[in-house]
Structure 1
Amino acid sequence: MSDAEKQSRMNDTLREVIQTLIDGQEGFQTLGEHLKDDMLRRYFLAESLKRARFRADLENELHRAGFHDVKESGTIAGT
Structure 2
Amino acid sequence: MTDLFACLGGVPALPGAACRGRHDLFDGETTADRIAAERLCRDACPALGACRRWVASLPKSRRPVGVVAGRFVDPVRR
TM-score, normalisation: structure 2? 0.30
Q: Which has the higher strand share?
A: 2
Q: Which has the higher helix share?
A: 1
Q: Relative contact order (C-alpha < 8 Å, sep 6+): which is higher?
A: 1
Greater C-alpha radius of gyration: 1
